[in-house]
Amino acid sequence: MATPRDLRRRIKSIRGTAQITKAMQMVAASKMRKAQQAAIAAGPFAHRLYRIQRAATTRAIDFRHPLTEVRPVRRRAVILVAGDKGLCGALNTNVFRLASRYDPETTIYITAGRKAAQFVARSKRKLDAEFAYGDSPTFGEAKAIAVAGRDLFLSGAVDEVVIIATRFVNTLTQEPVTIEYLPVGEIKGLHVPTAETEADLAADTAETLFEPKAPELLGYLLRHYLNIYMYFTLLQAKASEQSARMVAMKNATDNANGLIKDLTLEYNKLRQGNITKELLEIAGGQAG
């Protein structure tokens, strides 16, 4: 049975932990608001760009480009996007579970974030390139990752490039997703609510004129489209990470406070029992 001294030590230790998790919760909440605003603000532009890409590539007659070439998939590259730190619930674990589905013998990895690189090294998978991105992802960071994936595809080293990351839904919900990145086409992993469906695009038979010519214009568009969509993916991942960390630290703080309350109640009962026992011993001694 625990003594009053043991209970006091446990309460003191848990109270210190609660103070740490509360501070981390406040820091994460501050970063979360900024990250969420950036992801939400970039959404309409990314969705409109996707719509332009699908409309242009679908309606361009006899348009061929190396970035749209569909090949039998013998080798695949995975751009794995995770956080630099833990303490964000199951966020990183869910992303790594998706990454584990691919055959390590035919898959190479491009990592973004320290945890992603650690996962690839720990699971002894093939790493092609490792990148970092900060609490406020920049376009330059996204472009470097996009170029690495694009170079692998264009060189023929891989036949497909996918992104495994987290889609931000709201503060309480973040979904791990697999995004079909290359060859350029319909995105089946990231929800694009404002885009036309493939059926809508096929039904539209209106003539489309390109100025300058389609190969020149669309070649320029596709490169920038890949860079910007990678940037949008990083913003979504960072908003998800900060949201998950804030929620995890809030839950940890609430659990610590609940445990402190239970231990304090147990301590008071034990102390009251000891006082009652001492009073009974005193009263018994006087009666004797």
Q: Who's near 8: CB < 8 A, 6+ residues apart?
A: 267
Q: Does any domain span residue 255?
A: no
CATH code (residue 234): 3.40.1380.10
Checking DSSP bridges between strand 126-131 and strand 160-170, what pairing results, if any? unpaired
pLDDT at 250 over 90: yes
Query: From CA 91, how far away is CA 166, in angstroms rounded?
Result: 8
Residue tagged active-site, from 88, 95, 129, 239: 88
Taking alpha carbons only, the member of 250, 101, 248 closest to residue 177 is 101
pLDDT digits (tens, 9 = 90+) for 208-228: 666 767 777 777 888 888 999
Q: What is the pLDDT of residue 218?
A: 78
The answer to the question of residue 29 being in a domain is yes
Note down the domain range covering 211: 24-246
Q: What's the confidence (pLDDT) of residue 58?
A: 74
Q: What is the pLDDT of residues 257-276, one digit of tens each?
A: 999 999 999 888 888 877 78
Identify the sign of the CA torsion 22, 27, 33, 35: negative
Whether 88 is a known active-site residue: answer yes
- Provide the pLDDT for residue 274: 75
Question: Whole-model pTM above 0.75?
Answer: yes
pLDDT tens profile 172-207: 989 999 988 988 877 655 554 444 555 665 555 666
Instruction: Report the share of the chain in percent with pLDDT over 90.
Output: 54
The reported pLDDT for the residue numbered 195 is 47
Segment 142-169 shows an average pLDDT of 93
Is there a domain that residue 63 lies in?
yes
Please report which confidence band the pLDDT of residue 231 belongs to, taking 50, 70 and 90 as the band edges.
very high
Number of domains in the chain: 1
pLDDT value of residue 248: 92
| Rounded Cα–Cα distance for residues 131 and 135 (Å) | 14
Range 34-47 average pLDDT: 89
With residue 175 as reference, give the H or E element that holds it: strand 173-182
| Token representation of residue 86 | 């833990």
Is residue 256 in a domain? Answer: no
61 occurs within a structural domain? yes
Say if residue 287's pLDDT is above 80.
no
Structure tokens at 288: 């004797």
Judge whether 270 lies within some domain.
no
Residue 140: is its pLDDT beyond 90? yes
Mean pLDDT of the chain: 85
CA–CA distance, 248 with 83 (Å, rounded to integer)? 15
85 belongs to a structural domain: yes
pLDDT exceeds cutoff 50 at 162? yes
Segment (H or E) for 167: strand 160-170
pLDDT of residue 269: 86
Which run of H or E residues covers position 161? strand 160-170
| 16 in any annotated domain | no
Type of residue numbered 58: T
Between 288 and 62, the higher pLDDT residue? 62
For residue 20, pLDDT over 80 is answered with: yes
Q: What is the mean pLDDT of residues 121-150?
A: 93
pLDDT of residue 69: 86
Q: Looking at residue 78, what is its pLDDT? A: 95
pLDDT of residue 194: 45
